[in-house]
Amino acid sequence: MEQQQQWRKLNGERISIPIAEEVTNVLMRESETGHELKVCIGTDSQVKGKVTEFATVIVFIRKGKGGFMYIHNETTTQKMSIKERMLTEVAKSIDIAYTLCNIFSRYSVDMEVHADINTNPSFKSNDALKEAMGYIMGMGFVFKAKPEAFASSSCANKVVQ
């Protein structure tokens, strides 16, 4: 059951249909043009005062030919520890990955879930690394953390307000 979320393209164009339908259309179009795709899903967050904003991205990589992405932003006023915020980011990524994984399988598209969590123990986000890795891999998804987690640490990071 997909919750209605407002997704948009990087250029700001809003997606008016459910994201699963949009992704199916994209995969059909890309398949017809012969592009080999890989998808990376990630979430980043930014705390500003009492508000935390989350940005989740679905990054489509056309192997050897660039890429494009879809973006979903949401905010909360719920106060969270850094570990709780990191695991909330992971949960948001897993939610959309789970919603779309059967579509990617149908089109033989590889998918990764990226966590904006540092593998270096001297960073605070590292506290959530083991739980995030277990959560993502336990769901059967490929897991990437920093510095390889560009979907969350670069793409989502750029669009979180």
Instruction: Determine the pLDDT at residue 102.
Output: 97
Instruction: Determine the pLDDT at residue 126.
Output: 82
Has residue 1 got a pLDDT over 50?
Answer: no
Categorize the per-residue pLDDT at 2 as very low, low, confident or very high, splitting at 50, 70 and 90. Answer: very low
Instruction: Determine the pLDDT at residue 124.
Output: 80
Per-residue pLDDT, averaged over 47-55, amounts to: 94
pTM: 0.91
Cβ pair 150, 41 in contact under 8 A: no
Distance CA 99, CA 94 (A): 8
Instruction: Determine the pLDDT at residue 97.
Output: 97
Of 51 and 160, which is predicted with more confidence?
51
Instruction: Determine the pLDDT at residue 95.
Output: 96
Instruction: Determine the pLDDT at residue 3.
Output: 44
Categorize the per-residue pLDDT at 4 as very low, low, confident or very high, splitting at 50, 70 and 90. Answer: low
| Cross-sheet strand order for the sheet of 7-9 | 7-9, 67-76, 51-62, 37-48, 110-115, 142-144
Compute the CA torsion angle 13, 73, 41, 140 (nearest 10 deg): -130
Has residue 58 got a pLDDT over 60?
Answer: yes
Determine how β-strand 67-76 pairs with β-strand 51-62.
antiparallel
Over residues 76-130, the pLDDT tens digits come to 999 999 899 999 999 999 999 999 999 999 999 999 999 988 888 888 878 888 8
Per-residue pLDDT, averaged over 125-136, amounts to: 88
